[in-house]
Chains A and B, each alone.
Chain A
Amino acid sequence: MVERMATTCGPLELANPVLAASGTFGYGDSFERFWPLSTLGGFVTKTLFVAPRDGNPAPRVAETSAGMLNSIGLANVGWEAFVRDKAPRVNALRGAARLIVNVAGNSPEEFGEIAARVEADRDAVRCDAVEVNVSCPNVKEGGTNIGCHLGQFQDAVRRVRAATTLPVFVKLSPNVADVVPFARCAADEGAAGVSLINTLYGMQIDTDRRRPVLGTGSGGLSGPAILPVGVHWVFKVRAALPELPILGIGGIATWRDALQYLMAGAQAVQVGTASFVNPDACMEILAGLERWCATRETSIRAVIGAAHRAGEPAEEPVWTG
């Protein structure tokens, strides 16, 4: 039963394929009131910089038809406070759940600096991997400028890779004409895998005020609206780089959404925005996947990449409710 749910994403052995995504799960202890952290396959911290950040002015979120825009601006407590205040508590709670720290900087050099801090504190933090946020669209000097330009992207990943021996996952931006060259670059630079996708650029205008709703004008679109975009890019990256481990992200709100990512070629998924609306989203997705696998007498590992296997006969649909 449990073995059915296990999966492997590069160097990460996961008890199940459901992870909580960066920026939607705090530092790991925010959902303890709802369910035990140890039930997750893993979780990714809010993006950490070396120094704390206040973030952007309000309004920071806007609802859209099937999702939301955000311009939080990578507000975070800074690396030192994370190590001191958050990591011990999270480690006491997490059991077998994998801890992935998400990091960023305002320049390729800063990416190297934060990775060096992670490496220096690895005994204290006991994280299983580093996720590199090169793709947050909210920070003028870093974020997308790095994630959308192959030269800077390569520079940042290389500096992170050089500074730590922990497995490195690079979180890719969809705000490019083709994500595949970025995935290939990450692989060539020694990344253990890629996480995709981050948010898409978006803007909402308040037609009464005739001004953008968000304090920063534009923000990042997330939620069910971006599900097909994420599935598309996971499929494309898997097709081009079948050996590269993938953490699938983008708009997952139900277990069927998660299954789409697994079938597109992700070894595990990250649930993000859905947890804001329904704090039980991760648990419901996990239960749905378990039920689905049990009904079909199959396993998570068996369905990974299934959508690529065009030579195999498609299964008859089985109604599972």
Chain B
Amino acid sequence: MTGGAVWTLPLADVEDVATGTYWLRFECPAALECDPGHFFMLSSVAPGGGPFLGRPLSIGDVRDGGLGFLVRALGRATAWFRTLPPGSPVRLVGPLGRPFAPPERPLHRMVAGGIGLAPFFYLARRLRETQPQARLELIYGERSADAHAPLAGSERTLFDMVARCTDDGSLGRRGTVVDALGDELDGGDAAWYGCGPQPMLRALAGRLEEAGVTGAQFSLEERMACGFGVCQACIVPNRSGAPRYRLLCVDGPVVDPREVAW
């Protein structure tokens, strides 16, 4: 289990980056330390001021004294956050969960489906510091071009290569990120990371397993009420069967895909 505390932070700014997708940024308190892959529960400070429960959001980026979350408006809370004016206080509980634990490798491959892009900016930024010689690749898929985050400015330079794909072929290669990997998973020395919708991750887990890749790290998502192991909502079926379920909030959100009963 990690630490975590309750913070009330004023919203610094909201920036739209693609259809329905935006950065939610806060000033990052000096005392707040977090690693790529950690998440926070974000909620309304005033009871009744917004959706009742908090929402688990992966840390999107930490830089220049700011803490950012890349969010897609897919439901009640993610639409509500978008409407908040700068200065609005938001409750953040965290950092929570088990973050990425990147191994030392010459190549790091991040596979992102949709808003699964969220945790990879901060992961790449950290890898740039800790493994400056390593090559960082991002394979990023969306349904169509309008949903693609542009990766502006310093976000783009975080990666040595960005391969984009879309389901409808409107940008980059047509097909899923798993299709984009091709038949051969070259780079046996690569460290693999995945984040995205469950069907994509299931397919990716299958491909990596076929190719004999071990040690991949996937950041998963589940409904949760608390984020720190109490409500017992965020169960992930355990491949070994014992125990039957694990809690994503404390045993994840970053997990080894081989341990999940997809």
Contact = CB atoms under 8 A, between A and B. Distances in A.
Contacts of A39: none
Nearest to B4: A33
Interface of B: 1, 3-6, 41, 43, 47-48, 51-54, 76, 91, 93, 222-226, 228-233, 235, 243-245
A61 B35 CA distance: 28
B225 A61 contact: yes
Contact of B222 (A58, A66, A278): A58
A59 B53 contact: no
Given A55-B245, A253-B47, A72 B233 contact: yes
Given A60-B235, A64-B52, A276 B230 contact: yes
State the main secondary structure of chain A at its contact with B.
loop
B93 A279 contact: yes
Contact of A55 (B53, B91, B232): B232
Interface string A12-35: 000000000000111000110110
A277 B231 contact: no
A68 B52 CA distance: 8
Contacts, number: 95
A105 B5 CA distance: 35
Nearest to A222: B225
Nearest to A280: B6
Interface string A64-77: 11111010100100
Categorize the interface residue count of chain A: 35 or more
18 contacts: A30-B229, A31-B230, A33-B3, A34-B5, A55-B235, A58-B223, A58-B235, A61-B53, A70-B225, A70-B233, A72-B231, A72-B232, A274-B47, A277-B41, A277-B43, A277-B54, A278-B6, A280-B6
Contacts of B235: 55, 57-58, 60
B225 A224 contact: no
A60 B223 contact: yes
Contacts of B54: 276-277
Contacts of A108: none
Contacts of A63: 51-53, 76
A127 to B, nearest CB: 19
Interface in A242-282: 253-254, 273-280
Given A58-B222, A277-B226, A279-B228, 7 more contacts: A24-B230, A58-B233, A60-B233, A65-B52, A66-B48, A72-B233, A277-B91
B233 A30 contact: no
A34 B6 contact: yes
Interface of A: 24-26, 30-31, 33-34, 54-55, 57-68, 70, 72, 75, 223-224, 253-254, 273-280
Given A33-B4, A60-B235, A278-B6, A25 B245 contact: no
A66 B245 contact: no
A224 B47 contact: yes
A58 B231 CA distance: 13
Contact of A68 (B3, B5, B225): B225
A59 B223 contact: yes
Given A54-B245, A277-B54, A279-B6, A70 B222 contact: no
B42 to A, nearest CB: 10
A65 B243 CA distance: 34
B230 A54 contact: no
Nearest to A52: B243
Contacts of B43: 277-278
A278 B6 CA distance: 8
